[in-house]
């Protein structure tokens, strides 16, 4: 699977609900619009408890709020 934002790169994080992925650069990015973030955060997702994309976005939200990410 290829990255949603960079079709020439392989995806390292996969959204199981929507079948799309993000590359390593997108997962390290801090821009909430273009980066690795949940595509449908307001809708129920069966996979959320095991989703790397959700966890990356949650860590970015905590950093932006000045809170320390929890292990």
The residue extents of the domains of the chain are 13-64
Structure pTM?
Answer: 0.69
Please give the pLDDT value at position 7. Answer: 94
In this prediction, residue 29 has a pLDDT band, given cuts at 50, 70 and 90, of: confident
pLDDT surpassing 80 at residue 48: yes
The overall average pLDDT reported for the chain is 83
Give whole-number Cα distances, 60 to 7, 10, 29, 50, 54, in Å.
Answer: 24, 22, 9, 17, 10
pLDDT surpassing 80 at residue 34: no
pLDDT surpassing 60 at residue 56: yes
- The residue-averaged pLDDT of 35-58 equals 85
């Amino acid at each position: 699977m290829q990255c949603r934002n960079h079709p020439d790169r392989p995806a390292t994080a996969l959204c199981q609900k929507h079948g799309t992925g993000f590359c390593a650069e997108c997962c390290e990015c801090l821009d909430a619009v273009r980066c690795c973030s949940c595509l449908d955060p307001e809708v129920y997702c069966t996979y959320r408890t095991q989703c790397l994309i959700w966890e990356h976005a949650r860590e970015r939200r905590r950093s932006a709020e000045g809170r320390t990410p929890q292990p």
